[in-house]
Amino acid sequence: MSTPKSVQREAMAVSTWWWVRHAPVRENNGRIYGNSDPNCDTSDAASFGGLAKMLPENARLILSPLKRTHQTAAAIAAAGLNMPEGVQEPDLIEQGFGDWQGLTYDELSVEGSGPPGFWLAPGYSRPPGGDSFADLIPRVASGIDAHVQARLNEGAPEREHVISVSHGGVIRAALAIALGLDAERALGFQIDNLSVTRIDRIESTRGISWRVVAVNRLPK
């Protein structure tokens, strides 16, 4: 007896994205760094060991062009997680804060453009010479879509795990995309260094849907 069409399972392509925010930056003495390229501190062996246990083996690895994501991925691998060589995705670079980069938060406040609470600028405001968080959201969407489309063209399996070692702003943007949030509301998410945020992208003949499984999960 055939299964009625109304209850047949629809074929889906599911890509599970494990977003990891890079290790903390300390060498800049607390100055704003945005999309500049300082080193990060990978000395927290316990956290990297926890990440190696939390994340899936042999997942696709996507990095931004900034070396702190590469350094963080290398430290996760050194802690015991099997990962392939990373693919670099320029669209997943952090938001640029333009002329504010290199300043301390106190210096920024003195200039009269200080941070409104927990984030450097409102979602739709562009720092001088930089871009807004609202600018970041479609760029991140483009980066995700480009990767998924390339994988489908390569004949990727219907279910695939992706580890993206990335940035706080980029992960908030991914959450905005998944939940349909505007820029201001998406800035309300706390994304700590070395935290994991898991978002499933589900594609079927009816379109694309999203499932948020975990946000800002710490490895300790």
Q: Kindly state whether residue 2 falls inside one of the protein's structural domains.
A: no
CATH number, domain of 149, equals: 3.40.50.1240
Within a domain: 4: no
Q: What is the model's pLDDT at position 119?
A: 61
The number of helices, as runs of H, and strands, as runs of E, in the chain is 6, 6
Which residue in 96, 98, 51, 113 sits closest to 76, CA to CA? Answer: 51
For residue 194, which of 38, 49, 19, 21 has the smallest C-alpha distance?
Answer: 21
For residue 52, give its domain range.
Answer: 12-217
Closest to 189 measured CA to CA, from 132, 112, 133: 133
Question: Residue 59: pLDDT above 80?
Answer: yes
CA distance 170 to 173: 5
In a domain, 210, yes or no: yes
184 domain-assigned:
yes
Count, residues in the chain: 220
Express as a percent the part of the chain with pLDDT over 70.
90
> What is the rounded distance in angstroms from the CA atom of residue 201 to the CA atom of residue 196?
16
Indicate the pLDDT class of residue 158, thresholds 50, 70 and 90.
confident
Q: Cα separation of 111 and 108, whole Å?
A: 5
pLDDT of 11: 63
Q: Is residue 69 part of a domain?
A: yes
- The pLDDT, as a whole number, for residue 7 is 44
Q: Residue 31 — pLDDT band, cuts 50, 70, 90?
A: very high
**188 within domain boundaries:** yes
Residue 111 pLDDT grade (very low, low, confident, very high; cuts 50, 70, 90):
low
Count of domains forming the chain = 1
Which element (helix H / strand E) includes 198? Answer: strand 196-204
